[in-house]
């Protein structure tokens, strides 16, 4: 029987960026490919969630610009928990401007993303040079967005192919978001995950973790509302973690 996908161990050999390797190490150590998207607007609720799910995730994804009471004590505390519980911090900033502006948005303003985030998401609408000369720390990685999960996304095959090519050529890119299999040298992140919902009423589309691994060749599932809106986020996180891990193992 032929292997249908390469293992995390093999993938780690193909990834050169330290944060990509670190993410894989965490995944192997904690046996979880689950990234939780904490789309909550109060630090108290984010920290409450993190205390419940921290042991079960390899990464916590934030939209830091939605937080009403953002502060550095919050970030420092979150950073501390992320080190204790061993997960990475992803800021889903979706930068999309020219390089000089992307750089300002990464390093300055209230959030100073580059001072704490392990990984930041970027659109490449402005072209390959938009992610050059960003002056990010060597232990910070980029995730490009090739193809979103939403209904009516504007990316076509040609656009997606170009984003993937740029992603492969830029050493600061650790992976991408796409709804299809990508080169083994990129980590593939899959948002839009839900056990039974197919879509929500505002255009996001969902697939089961099994589909993510079997059909899309995913490496990491990103789950938001299915976990943080549930009655029991701890239990739900464990269920998505198990489902993601089983779905990965089934593909080997
Ligand atoms: P949800 O509650 O599981 O739908 O949250 C999904 C999260 O992933 C949310 O923070 C989105 O901004 C994010 N997302 C997405 O849904 N689809 C995409 O293609 C990308 C990000 Br890129």
Contact 147, 180 (CB under 8 A): yes
Which active-site residues does the annotation give?
A: 92, 94, 97
Task: Write the ipTM.
Answer: 0.99
137: which DSSP letter? -
Give the pLDDT band of residue 1 (cuts 50, 70, 90).
low
Q: Does residue 59's CB lie within 6 angstroms of at least one atom of ligand 1? A: no
Ligand 1 atom showing the smallest separation from residue 148 Cα: 19
| Model pLDDT for residues 76-126, shown as the tens digit of each residue | 999 999 999 999 999 999 999 999 999 999 999 999 999 999 999 999 999
Assigned token pair, 19: 């944060």
CA–CA dist 135, 106 (Å, integer) = 9
Q: How far is the CA of 192 from the centre of ligand 1 (A)?
A: 6
Cβ 103 vs Cβ 134: under 8 Å: yes
* Minimum CA distance residue for ligand 1 atom 6: 224
Q: How far is the CA of 138 from the centre of ligand 1 (A)?
A: 26
pLDDT at 209 over 90: yes
Number of the ligand 1 atom closest to the C-alpha atom of 153 = 19
């Amino acid at each position: 029987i032929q292997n249908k996908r390469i293992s995390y161990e093999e993938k780690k050999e193909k990834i050169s960026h330290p944060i990509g390797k670190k993410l894989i190490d965490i995944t192997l150590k904690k046996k979880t490919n689950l990234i939780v998207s904490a789309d909550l607007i109060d630090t108290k609720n984010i920290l409450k969630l993190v205390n419940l799910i921290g042991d079960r995730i390899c990464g916590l994804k934030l939209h830091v610009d939605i937080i009403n009471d953002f502060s550095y004590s919050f970030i420092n505390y979150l950073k501390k928990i992320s080190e204790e519980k061993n997960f990475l911090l992803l800021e889903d900033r979706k930068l999309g401007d020219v390089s000089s502006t992307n750089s300002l948005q990464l390093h300055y303003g209230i959030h100073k993303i580059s001072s704490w985030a392990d990984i930041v998401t970027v659109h490449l609408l402005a072209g390959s040079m938009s992610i050059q000369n960003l002056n990010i720390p060597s232990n910070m990685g980029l995730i490009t967005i090739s193809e979103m999960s939403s209904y009516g996304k504007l990316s076509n095959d040609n656009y997606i192919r170009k984003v993937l090519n740029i992603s492969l050529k830029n050493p600061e890119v650790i992976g991408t978001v796409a709804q299809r299999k990508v080169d083994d040298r990129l980590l593939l992140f899959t948002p839009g995950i839900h056990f039974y919902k197919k879509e929500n009423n505002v255009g996001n589309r969902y697939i089961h973790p099994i589909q993510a691994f079997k059909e899309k060749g995913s490496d990491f599932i990103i789950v938001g509302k299915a976990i943080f809106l549930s009655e029991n986020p701890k239990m739900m996180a464990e269920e998505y973690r198990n489902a993601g891990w089983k779905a990965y193992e089934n593909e080997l």
